Chain A
Amino acid sequence: MEQTHTYGDTPYHPRWLRRRVSTYWWLWKPAYLRFILREGSCMFVGWFTVYLLLLLAALLEGPLAYELFLAWSATPAVLIVNVVTLGFVVFHAITFFQAAPQAMVVRLGRARVAPQTVLLGHYAGWVVVSAVVAFFLLGA
């Protein structure tokens, strides 16, 4: 059934002051800036994915290409970009995991798992995954 609602009040009056949000709204307060940085972290996620593809391409081409890739990765420009990338992906990981308990309600039987536990679970997973990856790569 369609709800039709009528209102006695003026829906909009031309005299009301409408303020447009500035393009630079995210500079208004630290929390907004943090938000934009968090969203901006996706650029670094994207960049590093491309970086991985370049690595794979080098691997495919042969040992020489691989050596060249490694040399290129040690050039100051690339190194700086990757240091910044490291900062952003860590920031990304933290903010993403922090959001998790808010988004999901995990249940064990009837009881709701405490949000802190959900968060800890994510961090624990993170540590384990990192350790496994490091184990294989350092062994290769």
Chain B
Amino acid sequence: MTPSYDVVLVGGGGAGLRAAIAIAETNPRLTIAVVSKVYPMRSHTVSAEGGAAGVIAPDDSIDEHIYDTISGGDWLCDQDAVEAFVHEAPQELMRLEHWGCPWSREPDGRVAVRPFGGMKKMRTWFAADKTGFHMLHTLFQTSLKYGGVTRYDEWFVTRLLVDDGRVQGVVAIDLKSGRVEAITAKAVILCTGGCGKVFPFTTNAAIKTGDGMTLAYRAGAPLKDMEFVQYHPTGLPFTGILITEAARAEGGYLINKDGYRYLQDYNLGTPQPHPVFRSMELGPRDRLSQAFVKEMEKGRTIETPYGHVVHLDLRHLGEKKINAKIPFVRELCTKYQNLDPVRDLIPVRPVVHYMMGGIHTDIHGATPLPGLFAAGEAACVSINGANRLGSNSLPELLVFGARAGRAAAEYASQAREVDPRVIAQKTDEHRRLEQELFGRKGRERIATLRDEMQKTMEASAGIYRAAPALRQGVAELQRLQERYADIAIEDHSRTFNTERVSALELSFLLDVAQSMLAAALAREESRGAHQRTDFPKRDDQRFLAHSLVSRNADGSCRVEHRPVTITRWPPGERVYGEAAPHGTAHQAADRPLSSGAGV
């Protein structure tokens, strides 16, 4: 018997779980399945460290958060989406407080907030520096309360069931037994997270392989703004483990090999002993990562066996503050870098961190494909535009997870029953999986292809890009796609066949990579995280627009552009440092900050 639900959620991370709870609360009679390739609490949301933005401080305002987000995104954000997001974020974070999230507090018991990069006010809620971990576990544990949620833990979705232009479920492998099953539903929400594993050096976990993006793309939904990949300026060399922006928000300095706070040379303000909003180390991530590359070109970075680095200096913060505010940073440095930030400089370098682009959705999380919804990092609504501000992603999971959940619930309440004929597609998929992954004796190692893809992407679509390298990358990816047809799978077991999973993930990654290069080639301007050396200026005339990549029948990409939604904030110049953006509401506060005294 094929299990059938009203809504199937793919992904048990922050977005997926929030959506599941939203559905259960909207209509307790709906049946919900959460399908996830790892146990939900292992989802990558668990790694998020710094915090989640939501206007709560008395001196803050909704408009300021909107403006910071839009300017941070270099005016590529849809402003209606940003408005909805900023309005709902505080409520969502508050809801999480009511569900038990251990937010750090002020001495009087209220929730504390801290400054964050690109933000003009203190509005980042945090749970020390394990914010994502606490949010995910709170959501997961709270989701256990709802009897209507059936979980498919460690089930790997390989395909969407589409019939009659309508998405009606998924096909998934139960990893423990290896059996392939259809799980049908009136609506499907993809919350599968990002795709950092397209690149060699990333903060992202092994599971971030863009599965949902490719699932949607193959089913006919377009991917939006795929050229915008965020590099985080401070990753540990070798592992790529993230040192959260909170380390800079609490007062850390970035210094080059001469001990010089080099950001002052890149239009990011003048150094002050204490952090200043939207200035120096609290500039946006795209600018900081770009500054690193320039600094490296000037020969002022430090060479290590794992590439060039600069130093993050936290020593002046003192042991007490480090332990209270960023204990995980200390733990990670001690464990993985064998140094103690209380006494030592931390070597850091830019690292692929976040995908601004994703499955194209409207502000309710609906994709153009009826029955298909998406939320979280897998989706692109878009509130992040050309560069996401730190601490905007976690609240995005909540706001748009909940929105997608409600929209899907409503859709499912009215949708026709699932057409039993879609189940036949399971047989096709089953056959494909058997033939592609068990039937054939290939020669190519999965790891080799993956390494080559990652190298290709770094070479052609790194922090700075240009047409020749991008074209070369496109050609190389094409060759890798062909070689993929000849991969070797040594593992013939059906029980927990992780090699088969790696092969499927690689194929998802390859498609995502192709869409990124296609979109990057088509965007002949520089904006936010997308910097073309051959088109160094922003070009609002041609490219104040989202790129939409669709898949042609032969597997090639088609890129279109569609205008950005502008409501009240006409495109302006992005200014960081002391030169404040115009208007009283957008004044950069040139005063020292200190975040809440709570732990």
Contact = CB atoms under 8 A, between A and B. Distances in A.
Interface in B3-48: 3, 33, 35
Most B CB contacts (10 A, CB to CB) among A3, A6, A8 go to A8
Contacts of A3: 144-145, 147
A47 B88 CA distance: 69
B153 A9 contact: yes
A130 interface: no
Contacts of B154: 9
Contacts, number: 36
Contact of B495 (A5, A7, A8, A15): A15
Interface in A55-103: none
Given A13-B176, A13-B177, A15-B495, A8 B150 contact: yes
A10 B152 contact: no
Interface residues of A, number: 10
A9 B37 CA distance: 12
B51 to A, nearest CB: 28
A116 interface: no
Interface string A1-34: 0011111111001010000000000000000000
B143 to A, nearest CB: 11
A5 B147 contact: yes
Q: Tell me if A's interface is mostly helix, strand, loop or mixed.
A: loop
B46 to A, nearest CB: 20
B48 to A, nearest CB: 27
Contacts of B558: none
B95 to A, nearest CB: 21
Contacts of B538: none
Contacts of A7: 150-153
Interface string A102-129: 0000000000000000000000000000
A9 B154 CA distance: 8
Nearest to A8: B152
A8 B147 CA distance: 14
Most B CB contacts (10 A, CB to CB) among A3, A6, A10, A13 go to A6
A8 B151 contact: yes
Contact of B3 (A4, A5, A8, A10): A8
B174 interface: yes
B147 A9 contact: no
Contact of B147 (A4, A10, A15): A4
Contacts of B183: 8
In the complex, the 3 A-B pairs of residues with the closest C-beta atoms, listed nearest first: A8-B152, A6-B150, A10-B176
Interface of B: 3, 33, 35, 144-145, 147, 150-155, 174, 176-177, 183, 495
9 contacts: A4-B147, A5-B150, A5-B151, A6-B150, A7-B152, A7-B153, A10-B174, A10-B176, A10-B177
